[in-house]
Amino acid sequence: MTAHAKLSPSGCDRWSTCTASVALIDKLRGGGEIGASEWIVDRDASEWSAEGTVAHEVREMCLAFGLEPQHFVGATISADGFSYTVDDEMAEHLQTGIDWVREHTGAPHVEIKVDLSPWLPDQFGTCDTGWLEFLNSTTALYISDLKYGAGVPVNAIGTKQLRLYALGMWHYLGRPQVEKIVLNIDQPRAGGMKYWEITLDELLAFGEEMKAVYAKIIAGDVEFKPSHKACRWCEVRTAPGGCAPRDRWLTEMAADACPTFNIPGYERQNLVGERRWLVVQHAPDIRARLAELHEESLRAALDGNPDPGSKAVEGDLGDRYFKDAKKAEALLVGALGDEAYQPRKVIGITEIEKKVKPGKRKQGHPETWEELLKLVDRPKGKPKLVPADHQKPALVEWEDDFDDL
């Protein structure tokens, strides 16, 4: 069981925009006043979340006691009901962020519960790492947050979660005058070290925004505002029946993209400019929701309560397989000899890196690794669409064509 602030930093992308979600989640979790307490949550733990918890614990112990991640290699640590054995890969992933913290401070504050009450009464968060750096008569506040997930890269620019940690850490450290605030997301498996620098004035202005959001939530002046970021981890979305405002939002986008799909009372919008980008950007959410609905509809049919007009039938046969693989292999070798086997294939570069690249406490094969590096190349990436504030410069192909002419 874990205590979570109702307006927690990690949930800020949701509650600060979709303010109506707070009361709904409250209902799902059994109530209580928003400002008065926290939620005690029995987290849905998974092997992956446990791995993240272990990574945080190793990082915390390294930073607090001057240890190295390699000291933990081979150690089995339990988290959230799972056991995880720290390996070279995790140690290497954690090292970069730890080294960066140490470049700036010898005494970071780690895993500090920071009080957000001045902006969000009775709310709090747990800040991975924070410290003050005094350099050339300037003072800087640093916040560093480990994200061990390999799935979705998290951008440091615009991060609300880290701005809340920064407010809490600044308050915890006695509200010092600081010239800059550096927010760092350390996501070793999805983009590496990411940074965003803001001023104290900008941070405090954000704090005022959060105060205004809090006042609205307390006053019940709330609204549903579905968005990818807001809905992604929202419990309302995954509750039975889902979230009607989000479904409506997704369905309207699907209707815009599909002229034969009519929603009573909804006037299709032309898919140009901003609206087209909105639909394109949310295509994965629309597809995922449709897949969920398909599963629900199938389940209803299998349970003997099919959605009117549908029924479940047996699907196509699955792939063929040998019931006795050893016997089949012997028969095949007898008939085909070596042709019974697929050609041998060299392992992939990620696997090679694990086995060949030398590490701090892993001998590897340094000479081979050096030679292999000379042979590694990567094809150019295909153009892709990203939000306009993405850190990469915009790619405009016609400029190249014009140069060629």
d(CA 379, CA 334): 43
Which residue has 């450290």 as its token pair? 173
DSSP annotation of 71 reads: G
Binding mask 332-361 for ligand SF4 (x = CB under 6 A): ------------------------------
Among 69, 168, 207, 226, indicate the residue that binds ligand SF4 (CB under 6 A). Answer: 226
* Residue window 166-205: x/- pattern of binding to ligand SF4, with contact defined by CB under 6 A: ----------------------------------------
Please, which residues have CB within 8 angstroms of residue 230's CB and are 6 or more apart in sequence? Answer: 13, 14, 17, 18, 21
DSSP letters for 155-171: -STT-HHHHHHHHHHHH
Interface mask (CB under 6 A) for ligand SF4, residues 59-98, using x and -? ----------------------------------------
Q: Which is nearer to ligand SF4, 221 or 324 (CB)?
A: 221
58, 127, 156, 234: which one binds ligand SF4 (CB under 6 A): 234
CB 355 within 8 A of CB 88: no
Residue 197: partners with Cβ closer than 8 Å, 6 or more residues away: 180, 181, 182, 183
**C-alpha count within 13 angstroms, C-beta hemisphere, residue 304:** 0
Rounded-to-integer distance, Cα 137 and Cα 193, Å: 26
Helices (DSSP H) in 173-227: which residue ranges? 200-219
d(CA 111, CA 216) in angstroms, rounded, equals 30
Does 243 help bind ligand SF4 (rule: CB under 6 A)? yes
Is position 236 an interface residue for ligand SF4 (rule: CB under 6 A)?
Answer: yes
Q: Going residue by residue from 13 to 42, which x/- string records binding to ligand SF4, judged by CB under 6 A?
A: -x---x--x--x------------------
Stretch in the footprint of ligand SF4 (CB under 6 A) among 240-248, 289-297, 311-319, 388-396: 240-248
Per CB under 6 A, 157 contacts ligand SF4:
no
Residue 242 CB, nearest approach to ligand SF4 (Å) = 8
Q: How far is the CB of 314 from ligand SF4 (least distance, A)?
A: 35
Query: Rule CB under 6 A: is residue 9 a binding residue for ligand SF4?
Result: no
Pick one of 246, 282, 289, 357: the residue that binds ligand SF4 (CB under 6 A): 246
Number of residues that bind ligand SF4 (CB under 6 A): 14
Residue 393: how many other CB atoms lie within 10 Å: 6
- Which one, of 209, 67, 203, lies nearest residue 143 by Cα? 203
Instruction: Name the site residues for ligand SF4 (rule: CB under 6 A).
Output: 14, 18, 21, 24, 224, 226, 230-231, 234, 236-237, 243, 245-246
